[in-house]
Structure 1
Amino acid sequence: MSPSFTISAPPSTDIWRKPPSTSRFNAPTHNLLPSTVPLQSFHSARITLEADWTTRYDQGGLLLHLTNQAGLTDRWVKTGIEFYQDKVFLSTVATLTYSDWSITPPSSNSHTRNKTTIEVRREVDELGSSLWVYELIIGNDGEVVDRQPLREVTWFFAEEDGWEINVSAMAARPAELESVLGEEVLLVKFESAEVAVRT
C-alpha cells in the first residue's frame, strides 16, 4: 500500500482527447508502480482521494495509461471525482481513439461529499474480459462493505499483446486561470493506493 501523497494541479491541465483537434495530456501524475508492466499482468488498482473541489471540471483519481512499442496511438482510462454543474460526480473517461465521459452521483454511503474510494479491476465473464470501475463503500473498520458498479470498459483487454500499462494517480484543473474559483492550484490528497499485478 502506498503512503499518502498530494498532487498539485494548476489551471489548464487535463487528460482529454476530443475530435476534431483537442488532445491534451498535461495533467500531473504520481506513479503507483515503479515502471510500466505488460497489460496481461494487470489485475486491479484502488485509491482513496479528496479535495476542495471548486471549479468546473476539477478532477482527481486513477489513470491507467496504455502504450504500445509498435507506435499505435496510446489509450487510457481515468476515473475518480469530477466537479461539474457545482456538484461532485464520480467520473470515468475511456479513450480508445477519442475520449468519452460518464458521470454518476456518489453513493449516499460515500465517505463525504469531497472524498471517495475508487477501484478498477479485471473481470472475466462468459463473454470475455473487461475492466470494471467501482465506487467502494468502506466501513468504520476500514473494510470494504459494498462495491457500486460505475462502468464497464469492454475494449480494455481486447488487444493485450504488445501493450504495456502505467498505473498512476492524477489530478487536473482544465479551467483557464480566469475561471478558477478560490485558490489557483487544485490540491488533491490521495491515500490507501494499491495496485495488484500478476507475475
Structure 2
Amino acid sequence: MTSTFTITAPPSTDIWRKPPSTNSFNAPTYALLPDAIPLKAFHRARITFSGVWTTRYDQGGLLLHLTRAGSTDRWLKTGVEFYQDKVYLSTVSTLTYSDWSITPPTTGDNVKSTTIEVRREVDELGSSLWVYELVLGDSGEVLERQPLREVTWFLAEEDGWEVSVSAMAARPAKKESVVGTKELAVKFEGAEVDVR
C-alpha cells in the first residue's frame, strides 16, 4: 500500500442512507486492505488526512463497509465533515439508515490534519467499536486519544459478516453549489490496519 495518496471527489458523491428515498454509495475510496476480511478478525484502523474544506458536507476519513450474503450492507464512516462553515469531526453509522454525530476537533478551527482511529474494545458489557480523534506528537506518538463515539451494534452480529477497510472522500454538494474548485482533494498518510 502506498504510504501517501490522494482521493479526489467530484460533486454529488456521498455515502449516506436516509429514508424514504436516499441511498447513496458513490464516493471514491482507496482500499487499505487488498480484500474484505471476516469482521471477527478486525481489531483497529487509523489514518491521517487533510483537505481544503470549502463546501457544505465536504468530507474525508475512514470507511468500514460490512457485507454478508443475503443481508443489506452496513457501514461506518468517520473523519472530517464541513458544516455551517466549520470543520467538525464526524461519524456516520448505518445499520438500516444512517445517523450522524459531529463535534469540534480538539485542535480547534486551525486544524491542518486529522488522525482518526477506530478500534475494537471489550469491557464488562461486551464488545463495541470505538471512534477516536488522535493527537500525535512530532514523532507520531499518541499524546491524546479523544473519544468521539461508541458504536455498540457494529460488532454485535459478527458471524458471516465481512468488513472492507478504506479511506474515503466525498463532496455531496451539486456542482453549482461548490465553493472554489469543482473537485475535493483529500490527502492521506500513515494508514494502519490491525487484523487478529
What is the TM-score of this pair, normalised by structure 2? 0.98
- 1:133 counterpart letter in structure 2: V
State the alpha-carbon separation in 1 of the partners of residues 2 and 101 from structure 2.
Answer: 28
- Structure 1: which 5+ residue stretches go unaligned? none
1:121 maps to: 119
1:181 maps to: 179
1:31 maps to: 31
- 1:86 counterpart letter in structure 2: D
Matches within 5 A, 1:38-117: 38-69=38-69, 71-108=70-107, 112-117=110-115
Question: Does the 8 Å contact 1:2/1:192 carry over to 2?
Answer: no
Moved more, 137-146 or 59-68: 137-146
Relative to structure 1, the CA distance from residue 5 to residue 30 in structure 2 (aligned partners, 3 Å threshold; closer, same or farther) is same
State the alpha-carbon separation in 1 of the partners of residues 121 and 92 from structure 2.
Answer: 19
Identity of aligned residues (%): 74
Deviation at 1:142, TM superposition (A): 1.5
Query: Which 4+ stretches in 1 moved above 4 angstroms?
Result: none
2:129 maps to: 131
State the alpha-carbon separation in 2 of the partners of residues 187 and 16 from structure 1.
Answer: 20
Deviation at 1:76, TM superposition (A): 0.1
Count residues in correspondence.
Answer: 196
- 2:104 counterpart letter in structure 1: P
- 2:107 counterpart letter in structure 1: S
State the alpha-carbon separation in 1 of the partners of residues 125 and 72 from structure 2.
Answer: 26
Matches within 5 A, 1:2-17: 2-17=2-17
- 1:120 counterpart letter in structure 2: V
State the alpha-carbon separation in 1 of the partners of residues 84 and 108 from structure 2.
Answer: 21
Moved more, 49-58 or 1-10: 1-10
State the alpha-carbon separation in 2 of the partners of residues 142 and 76 from structure 1.
Answer: 28
State the alpha-carbon separation in 2 of the partners of residues 100 and 109 from structure 1.
Answer: 24
- 2:147 counterpart letter in structure 1: P
Moved more, 100-109 or 163-172: 100-109
State the alpha-carbon separation in 1 of the partners of residues 52 and 3 from structure 2.
Answer: 21
- 1:39 counterpart letter in structure 2: L
- Structure 2: which 5+ residue stretches go unaligned? none
- 2:42 counterpart letter in structure 1: F
What is the TM-score of this pair, normalised by structure 1? 0.96
State the alpha-carbon separation in 1 of the partners of residues 145 and 111 from structure 2.
Answer: 18
